[in-house]
Each structure stands twice: as structure tokens, then as C-alpha cells.
């Protein structure tokens, strides 16, 4: 039987006398610490007043073993924290959609041919999508804030190095490492924002802004890439990205509330290391196979291309077997597909994101 608790403080109650609503499957028990009826201020149940009361109260964190304080230190702390998380979200649109605008300049600078330019664009999304889920599981184990900070710091370092790249190989390596840092702080940032607010309009507004930041980051990335190509140097594109990552890292570190610090750190979460190895190797080998196909001298039957194809198929099969039948806590439990509509949604996202990426890339080239 699963039991959870929601703590709230209606406006008409004296501070220090919270109502505890305990609910469980098959039955509901209401335990009152005062004589006031819980319907005295039903509006409090919506969560609208939870972040506006003067005194902090305990709110159970879904990603922590214990309840924690979700109230921020002050209004300015809340603003700085939310803005910093939003900036971290904008980095994805900046790096994924804005970068192709800089690509023609890089092609001329490094004299790129064949699929070299494709690798520059694909390095970030390839590593990003490959390590999303492993880093999510790791964040649940060691703490969301720690993984978020490490991801931003890692992204910052490799972004600065990308701006000082002297060769095409170095730039690709830096771009790939940027994707690794992005995989660490992307989902962690959303969870930290979720841990700050109780359910209600305030959380909804925060997540509305959070989801819109990728579009804003895309426009900023395109603008900065265009200005850097025409009036400055291509390095400025990476240095502006580094400034954004630095602001997000400092802002979150200085204003994190108790609920944010306690987010994650679940002792009962186990890492699926075998699943991490098999899924990442399968995805990387498959993408290498697809990207290198147009550059193969003998088409499908180029020896090294055949070897990559065989490795890709074997890795995918082994990853499916491990996640479906071997792993006790798989990274992708098969039961997620049992939810109605999830399968068609994933297919739609696959073709929708793929079409958008192809359009942006070849429209610029």
C-alpha cells in the first residue's frame, strides 16, 4: 500500500498548525492538528498560496527519502534560481539549432569536405541523446543538484576549449564533450525546478517558461552565430555560450533551496551499468554507420562500413536483450510502452525532430 503526505497551510489558519492530508489506495484518512475544517480555504489545495505564505512548511519531495523545505530563501533567490535554470535550458537550442548557422564559416576555415561538416553538427545531439537516461539514473542516485552543477561545469570547460580550437578534430571532440555535459544537466534542471514548487499555477508558469527557453535559445544562437560570422570571429559563438553556462552555474549554486539540495539521493536506486554500456555503444555505432554511409567509396559494401553495420546490429540486439531480460532495474523498463498513446507519441517525436533537424541543416548548407 502506497502512502504519501501533502502538507499545506491555508490562509485562515494560524502559522504553525498545518493540516496533514494522508491518502492511500483504497482508503483516505484525514488527520487534523486543529479544529478548522479542511474546506475553510479550498483554494490552498491548488498550490496557489503555497509559495506566498510567510513561513516555510515541509513539502515531501518525490525524489528524496525524506521531506524537505521547498521554500526559497527570498523572492530574489527564487527569481535568480529560476532564471538560471531557464538559461541552462536555452543552451540546448543555442547549441543544436544555432550552430548550423556558423557551419559555412567553419567549412571555409578548416577546409572541410565530405561528411566532416555533418560530424560537426551531429556530435552534440549524438552524445546528448545517448547519455540522457544514464545521467538521469545517476542523478537519482547521487543527487540532482550535484549532477546539474557538474554538467554545467563540464559544458563550460569544453565550450571554452571549443572557442580555442585549432583543428577540425579538436573542435569535434569539444562539441562531443559539450553534449556530454548537456546530457547531465538537461533532465536534472527540469527536476530541480519541479522540486521547488508545490503543484499549482506557480509551477505551471515556471514550466511554461522553461519549455519556451529552447526556442528563445535557438534564436539567440542563430543571431550570435550570424553576427560572429559577419562582424567578429567564429570563436565568439562559443564564448557567449560559455558566459551563459557560467551564469547558470553560479546562479543555481548560490540560490539553491533545501528542497533542491535534497532532490535525488535515493539510496534504493541502483545503476544499470551493463545497460549503460550496451545502450550507449549501440546508439553510437548505429549513428556512425548512418553518418558515414554517404562517404563510403563502395557504398553499402565498403569493408569498414560493413563492419560498423554488423557491430551496430549486434549491439542493438544485445542492448534489447539486457534491458528486457537481464537487468533488474533497466534504464528503459518495457512497461513504459504499456501506457496508452506512448508508442505513437515516440514515433511522432522521432519523425518530427528528425525532419526539423534535416531542414535546418540543409537549409543552411
DSSP string, 3-18: EEEEEE--TTSPTT--
Is residue 180 within 8 Å of residue 52, measured between CB atoms?
A: no
pLDDT per position as a tens digit, 172-192: 999 999 999 999 998 888 888
> What does the alpha-carbon distance between residue 126 and residue 180 come to, in Å, rounded to a whole number?
9
C-alpha cell at 328: 533488474
C-alpha cell at 74: 527570498
Residue 316 pLDDT > 80 = yes
Q: Who has greater pLDDT, 190 or 332?
A: 190
Report the pLDDT value the prediction gives residue 115, as an integer from 0 to 100: 63
pLDDT per position as a tens digit, 110-135: 888 766 777 888 888 888 888 988 89
Mean pLDDT taken over the chain: 75
Q: What is the DSSP letter of 17?
A: -
Report the pLDDT value the prediction gives residue 361, as an integer from 0 to 100: 59
Hey, what's the torsion of the CAs at 195, 197, 198, 199, to 10 degrees? -100
Report the pLDDT value the prediction gives residue 104, as an integer from 0 to 100: 87
Report the pLDDT value the prediction gives residue 75, as an integer from 0 to 100: 82
Run of H or E including 58: strand 58-60
Mean pLDDT value of segment 195-212: 87
Long-range contacts of 234-241 (CB under 8 A, 24+ apart): 234/102, 234/105, 234/106, 234/109, 235/163, 235/164, 236/163, 237/98, 237/99, 237/102, 237/163, 238/159, 238/160, 238/162, 238/163, 239/159, 239/160, 239/163, 241/91, 241/94, 241/95, 241/159
Residue 7 pLDDT > 50 = no
> What does the alpha-carbon distance between residue 106 and residue 112 come to, in Å, rounded to a whole number?
8
Q: Is 60 helix (H, G, I), strand (E, B) or coil?
A: strand
19-24 and 3-8 as β-strands: parallel, antiparallel, unpaired? antiparallel
Report the pLDDT value the prediction gives residue 153, as an integer from 0 to 100: 95
pLDDT per position as a tens digit, 38-97: 333 333 333 332 333 333 333 344 433 333 334 555 788 889 999 999 999 999 889 888
Mean pLDDT value of segment 352-361: 69
> What does the alpha-carbon distance between residue 91 and residue 154 come to, in Å, rounded to a whole number?
13
pLDDT per position as a tens digit, 16-26: 333 233 223 33
Q: What is the DSSP letter of 33?
A: S
Q: Who has greater pLDDT, 118 or 295?
A: 118
Percent of all residues in the chain with a pLDDT value above 70, rounded to a whole number: 74
Reported confidence tier of residue 315, pLDDT bands at 50, 70, 90: confident
Long-range contacts of 34-38 (CB under 8 A, 24+ apart): 36/10, 36/12, 38/10
pLDDT per position as a tens digit, 233-288: 999 999 999 999 999 999 999 988 877 888 877 767 788 888 888 888 888 888 87
Helices (H), 143-234: 144-163, 168-196, 201-230
> What does the alpha-carbon distance between residue 295 and residue 305 come to, in Å, rounded to a whole number?
10
C-alpha cell at 233: 570571429
Report the pLDDT value the prediction gives residue 149, as an integer from 0 to 100: 94
Q: Residues with Cβ < 8 Å from 200, sequence gap 6 or more?
A: 46, 47, 48, 50
Run of H or E including 316: helix 303-321
Q: Which of 139-143, 235-239, 332-336 bottoms out in mean pLDDT, i.e. has the lowest?
A: 332-336
Run of H or E including 68: strand 67-69
Q: Is 69 helix (H, G, I), strand (E, B) or coil?
A: strand
Structural domains of the chain ordered from first start: 3-69 (no CATH), 74-269 (1.20.1250.20), 271-355 (no CATH)
Q: Who has greater pLDDT, 39 or 137?
A: 137
Helix axes 75-96, 168-196, angle to 10 degrees: 150
Is residue 148 within 8 Å of residue 142, measured between CB atoms?
A: no
Amino acid at each position: 500500500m502506497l502512502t504519501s503526505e501533502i502538507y499545506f497551510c491555508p490562509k485562515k489558519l494560524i502559522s504553525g498548525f498545518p493540516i496533514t492530508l494522508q491518502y492511500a489506495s483504497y482508503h483516505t484518512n484525514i488527520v487534523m492538528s486543529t479544529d478548522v475544517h479542511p474546506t475553510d480555504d479550498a483554494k490552498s489545495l491548488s498550490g496557489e498560496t503555497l509559495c506566498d505564505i510567510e513561513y516555510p512548511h515541509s513539502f515531501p519531495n518525490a525524489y528524496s527519502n525524506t521531506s524537505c523545505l521547498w521554500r526559497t530563501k527570498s523572492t530574489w533567490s527564487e527569481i535568480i534560481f529560476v532564471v538560471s535554470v531557464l538559461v541552462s535550458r536555452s543552451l540546448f537550442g543555442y547549441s543544436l539549432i544555432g550552430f548550423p548557422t556558423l557551419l559555412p564559416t567553419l567549412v571555409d576555415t578548416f577546409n572541410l569536405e565530405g561528411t566532416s561538416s555533418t560530424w560537426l553538427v551531429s556530435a552534440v545531439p549524438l552524445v546528448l541523446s545517448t547519455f540522457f537516461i544514464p545521467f538521469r539514473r545517476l542523478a537519482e542516485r547521487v543527487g540532482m543538484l550535484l549532477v546539474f552543477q557538474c554538467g554545467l561545469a563540464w559544458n563550460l570547460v569544453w565550450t571554452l576549449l571549443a572557442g580555442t580550437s585549432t583543428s577540425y578534430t579538436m573542435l569535434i571532440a569539444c562539441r562531443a564533450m559539450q553534449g556530454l555535459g548537456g546530457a547531465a544537466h538537461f533532465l536534472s534542471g527540469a527536476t530541480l525546478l519541479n522540486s521547488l514548487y508545490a503543484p499549482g499555477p506557480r509551477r505551471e508558469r515556471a514550466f511554461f517558461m522553461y519549455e519556451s527557453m529552447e526556442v528563445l535559445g535557438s534564436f539567440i544562437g542563430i543571431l550570435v552565430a550570424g553576427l560572429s560570422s559577419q562582424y567578429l570571429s567564429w570563436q565568439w559563438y562559443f564564448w557567449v555560450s560559455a558566459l551563459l553556462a557560467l551564469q547558470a552555474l553560479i546562479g543555481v549554486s548560490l540560490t539553491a533551496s533545501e528542497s533542491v539540495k535534497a532532490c535525488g539521493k535515493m539510496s534504493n536506486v541502483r545503476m544499470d551499468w551493463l545497460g549503460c554500456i550496451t545502450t550507449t555503444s549501440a546508439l553510437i555505432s548505429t549513428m556512425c554507420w548512418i553518418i558515414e554511409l554517404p562517404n563510403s567509396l563502395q557504398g553499402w559494401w565498403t569493408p569498414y562500413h560493413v563492419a560498423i553495420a554488423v557491430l551496430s546490429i549486434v549491439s542493438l540486439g544485445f542492448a534489447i536483450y539486457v534491458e528486457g531480460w537481464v537487468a533488474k532495474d533497466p534504464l528503459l523498463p518495457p512497461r513504459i510502452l504499456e501506457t496508452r498513446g506512448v508508442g505513437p507519441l515516440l514515433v511522432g517525436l522521432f519523425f518530427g525532430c528528425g525532419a526539423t533537424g534535416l531542414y535546418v541543416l540543409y537549409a543552411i548548407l
